[in-house]
Chains A and B, each alone.
Chain A
Amino acid sequence: MTNAAPATTATIAARAVMASKIYGQGDNEVRALDGISVEFAQSRFTAIMGPSGSGKSTLLHCLAGLDRVTSGQVFLGDVEISACTEKQLTLIRRDRIGFVFQAYNLIPTLNAEENITLPMALAGHKPDRAWFDNVVDAVHLRDRLSHRPSELSGGQQQRVAVARALVSRPDLIFADEPTGNLDSRSGAEILTFMRQAVTDLQQTIVMVTHDPGAASYADRVVFLADGKIVDEMQDPTAERVLDRMKSFGD
């Protein structure tokens, strides 16, 4: 199965071309991204790893249209989002991208169900009921739908966040350390679910993590250091990732 679908022939969900992101000027200049070119194939689960400050979050934000690259291009499918207006980016985020952050993923005044359907409500669309039920059952939230975030555990909150990202069937889901704040059991639950979403539902996920265990759920790991891609690995296992990380020296 390893070579069943070579990356070059698969449809590309997102890609960056010579993308650079520079913060500050002169002596204070920080190259958070330093001419990165990378592709993310559709229906694949990619993990981005690297030491703290290596530019993982920055890459994610630029791919997701939350931030703009200083130079280079970023594409979502065929759309060059690095050339989109702020308004267009908002619509792209709403309709084609899903997000899971490390924490504070939910609107405290809305209950779980409302949080899940928020992007569709913003777009003024009705959620697909069957698909919604599917997702909710998959994340085991059926009996928690009317609860507010303050009444949910951290793991449940993240599951709601993942459900929100899935329910609008986006082209791509970006997750920035989605398990960073969770205990290992809750983390494993979330990761298993994300894995399923990719395998069973052909969802595309790009996830930033610094946990080799989490990375092992992915199809592919991209290693970042100092704003550059330094290596990548297909079908990772926790041990192999850990070894590779050690060789970089964290």
Chain B
Amino acid sequence: MFRLTWKGLLAHKVRFALTAFAVMIGVSFLVGTNVLTDTIRRTFDDLFADINEGTDAFVRSRDEIDSQFGPQRDRIPANLLPEIRRIDGVREAQGSLFFYAQLVDRDGDAIGNPGQGDPTFGGNWTPEGLLNPWQLVRYEGAASRPPRTADEVVVDKSSADKGALLVGEKVRVLTQAAPKEYTLVGVVRFGDVDSPGGASASIFTTSESQRITAAPDAFDSIAVANGDGVSQAEMVRRVEAAIGHPKQYEVLTGAEITKENQDEIARAMSFFTIGLSIFAYVALFVAVFLIFNTFSIVVAQRLRELALLRAIGASGRQVCWSVLGEAVMVGLLASAAGVLGGVVVAGVLKALFAGFGMELPSQGLVVAPDVVVLGLIVGTLITTVSAVFPARRAARVPPIAVMRDVAIERAGHRLGWTVAGVVLTAFGVAVLLYGLLGSPKNGIAYVGFGALVLFIGVAVLGPTLACPVGRLLGWPLARLRGITGELARENSVRNPRRTSLTAAALMIGVALVGFITIFASSTKESISVAVDRVFRADYVITTHGGGFGGGFSPDLAEEVDALPEIQTASGLRFNVFEIDGSSKFFASSDPVGIDELFDVDPIAGDFATLGVNQLAISQKVADAKGWKVGDELPVRFPVGNKGTMTVGAIYGTGQQEGLSDYFISLAAYDSRYNEHLDNQVYARLRPGVTPEEGKRAIEPVVKRYPNAELQDQAEYKQAQEAQINQFVNLVYLMLALAVIIAGIGIANTLALSIYERTRELGLLRAVGMSRAQLRSTVRWEAVIIALFGTGLGLVIGLFFGWAVVEALKSEGITEFAPPGFQLIVVVAIALVVATIAAIFPARRASRLDVLQAIQTQ
């Protein structure tokens, strides 16, 4: 039987090559993603191992607020340091500070973009020794030395390169304090890389660091290096005994802090891995349809041969296994190629990362055995499972089919399938809606599963829909293109199952592309609506490229506010606190004069007099929780964490309306967070000042903050849209994979169909059909299949879009806005893909030798 399998494979190698190619693409992407993330992870693992290499014990504050930016915690008093240094067995102990700092390059532009890319941070220089991971290096011929005064700084080599900075020259640094000029006295490297993980680092003296952070007597943490013969655990015990306050401070071993750092990165990376892997699995899911279809068609075409096998004594089981054996072999070969391809993909991605300034070490890619096994198993399993149905059908071929002229095509469908399709589709929709709107614990899992079932359900329904829909779609074609159009239409519906499976592959791609398109446009529209409704400010100052990762010194808002042309200006911050036991986003700004900048829609209490121990909540939250003005609510912050705040005001413009459900004053913020950075600054012109005058006044101020960008309302909207577009384009790029595989599916189906219609095509040519007409028939058939898939996909995409927008209403995505033009573009692209997919099969059909074709039996 194995020989038979092998021979079958060889005989149909072209047919299987396309299938294998589809599997290979999917596996390549899956493996590539995993190899890349493993590589990045190892980089960071090594990085943290280096940073903490000399650390045996690590002291920090215990309490933390967990947010999506990572945990935030309080600082510890600097006077712990001498206490710790006195402990027996301590060889060295150093306190460190870690804060936002961004370098300005030679041209006056800020280096790096913390809102989107790698961190830009500042730190304090500690004496060279066990606890300082930096090495001073000669740079451009100049010697480096540590910073000694408040006006000196040391930077990493990567930033020095990027900013064309030179030792001995002045360099400006942005921090939460006012921007300041420092003398660059040294350049450092980090182990054997120019900068840790692509970050940009500015290193100051400890006292300057404390001035910048407004923490004169504090450190973020203290690291301890042991003398000989003391274990890490023992040192932790000694430090704990010496500093007391076990509730307030936390002492970890060096190994623990390293592990914690590495785990945090692993967690952050896992989002990245999962995000990318999803696209790989989408591609593989699409490939399932292609594989299923290919095997079904090949089995149908080999009916006679299979029946002959049965007639001469092969059991149904043997026939089944011979088909499955082919699938296993195709799967294995394709997966193996995919694993190799994955390494290439990872290499390309790594090079791209390097292009974006994220330097990965030269050790090369981390190809973990489990990733290789994953790729092989996933690829082989998917291929084999997809072939199970066709193989079982092969097993049911009756031996009598050898003698009888059994119809090659299994036309039509059974009622049972239609019912199953309807049930599956309904179930998928229900699960998806429950995941989105029912707010269960693992909502996203429900959504994913629901979408999967929905796709399968519609695919099962496909054959039922294919005939009427194909006829309908083909009707204008037959009218316009005459006989070629009519033949295309009839060919597209002659085997509904084949057509619908081919279309289903495209349907998935189009549904997802359509969904993303609709979702993006709805988000843009929602932002636009929210800006129109909420913004009263004339200008917004944001960090370059937007985003909330970076920020400005509060001095910027003050300077703008002080301008005579400006009525009011205030910083706006977003952060996370814990209220009533769960972590929530809040906004913070100057409550005085907020009416000038935002339509907060005050409902109860007094917004303007909001005190340091008061907060404001949206009407929606107040209603949901039953809170009212004067209530004391339990809250937690990183600094002075536990406590309560009193509801001082209730307002209408919550998250859904475009602001935030919780609000505290800047004063309240400053006393509860270490980092005092404004994410944005809003400014309103004094009456009578023209926008041009206002702009002219603000611009010089903004110029002093090179990471700041001045925008009016329209520009702000545009910038937000540009950011969404950037993200969406990335997603399109990933989904292109699925669409390409769907295109391969169309090409494969057409090629197989043409093969089995050889005789018929010969006849058409004999009675006078021209090559061009024949090509056009094949092309139009592809177009009808594509239209069918695209139509289904768009309907599903619209549904997804609507459901997700509905689910995110409370997050501020209030507008459902499917963009007509862009969806037409999606349809056009799908048709182009189909037309391209048809090129090769059409050419083959038109090149058929007429004589041979009509003599084929």
Contact = CB atoms under 8 A, between A and B. Distances in A.
Chain A bound to chain B: yes
Interface of A: 61, 66-67, 86-87, 90-91, 93-95, 97, 99, 101, 104-110, 114, 118-119, 121-124, 150, 164
B496 to A, nearest CB: 13
Contacts of A118: 483, 764, 767
17 contacts: A66-B850, A66-B854, A94-B768, A95-B768, A101-B766, A104-B759, A104-B760, A104-B854, A107-B763, A109-B487, A109-B491, A118-B764, A118-B767, A121-B483, A121-B486, A122-B483, A164-B767
A119 B767 CA distance: 6
Interface in B731-786: 759-760, 763-771, 773
Contact of B768 (A114, A119, A150): A119
Contact of A90 (B487, B763, B769): B769
A250 B588 CA distance: 105
A148 B765 CA distance: 20
A109 B490 CA distance: 6
Interface string B674-692: 0000000000000000000
B355 interface: no
Contacts of A107: 487, 760, 763-764
A119 B763 CA distance: 11
B857 to A, nearest CB: 9
B150 interface: no
A121 B773 CA distance: 11
B768 A123 contact: yes
Nearest to B491: A109
Contact of A66 (B482, B491, B771, B851): B851
Contacts of B407: 150
B684 to A, nearest CB: 70
B393 interface: no
B764 to A, nearest CB: 7
Contact of B486 (A91, A108, A114, A124): A114
Given A114-B486, A122-B768, 13 more contacts: A66-B851, A90-B769, A90-B771, A91-B770, A94-B768, A94-B769, A101-B766, A108-B760, A110-B486, A119-B768, A122-B764, A122-B773, A124-B482
Contacts of A121: 482-483, 486
B695 interface: no
Contact of A108 (B494, B769, B851): B494
Contacts of A106: 763
Interface in B366-416: 407
Contacts, number: 68
Contacts of B764: 107, 118, 122
Interface in B813-857: 850-851, 854
A102 B730 CA distance: 58
Minimum-distance CB pairs A-B, first 9: A94-B768, A109-B490, A121-B483, A93-B768, A90-B770, A119-B767, A104-B759, A119-B768, A122-B769
Given A110-B487, A122-B773, A91 B768 contact: yes
A61 B851 contact: yes
Contacts of A123: 768
A105 B763 CA distance: 7
A99 B766 contact: yes
A154 B317 CA distance: 37
Contact of A101 (B763, B770, B773): B763
Of the four ranges (under 10, 10 to 19, 20 to 34, 35 or more), the interface on chain B belongs to 20 to 34
| Residue in A61, A106, A109, A119 whose Cβ sees the most chain B Cβ within 10 Å | A109
Contacts of B494: 108-109
**SS of B interface (majority):** helix
Contacts of A67: 851
**SS of A interface (majority):** helix
Contacts of A86: 771
Nearest to A87: B770
Interface string B474-507: 0000000011001100110010000000000000
Contacts of B769: 90, 94, 122
Contacts of B763: 101, 104-107
B405 to A, nearest CB: 11
Contacts of B770: 87, 90-91, 94, 122
Contact of A122 (B490, B759, B767): B767
B756 to A, nearest CB: 11
Nearest to B762: A104
A90 to B, nearest CB: 5
Given A101-B854, A110-B490, A66 B760 contact: no
A93 B766 contact: yes
A108 B753 CA distance: 14
Nearest to B773: A122
B473 to A, nearest CB: 16
Contact of A99 (B486, B491, B767, B851): B767
A99 B407 CA distance: 25
Contacts of B487: 107, 109-110
A118 B764 CA distance: 9
Interface in B127-182: none
B834 to A, nearest CB: 20
Nearest to B489: A109
B851 to A, nearest CB: 5
A61 B769 CA distance: 17
Contacts of B851: 61, 66-67
Contacts of A94: 767-770
A97 B771 CA distance: 18
Contacts of B850: 66
Contacts of A90: 765, 768-771
B300 to A, nearest CB: 15
Nearest to B855: A57
A108 B491 CA distance: 9
A118 B774 CA distance: 13
Nearest to B856: A104
A104 B763 CA distance: 8
Contacts of A95: 768
Contacts of B773: 122
Contacts of A110: 486-487, 490
Contacts of B486: 110, 114, 121
Nearest to B407: A150
Contacts of A114: 486
B209 to A, nearest CB: 80
Contacts of B759: 104
Contacts of A87: 770
Contacts of A124: 482
B785 to A, nearest CB: 15
A108 B494 CA distance: 9
A166 B177 CA distance: 96
A104 B764 CA distance: 11
A61 B490 CA distance: 29
A13 to B, nearest CB: 18
A93 B765 CA distance: 9
Nearest to B484: A122
A95 B769 CA distance: 10
| Residue in B483, B760, B768 whose Cβ sees the most chain A Cβ within 10 Å | B768
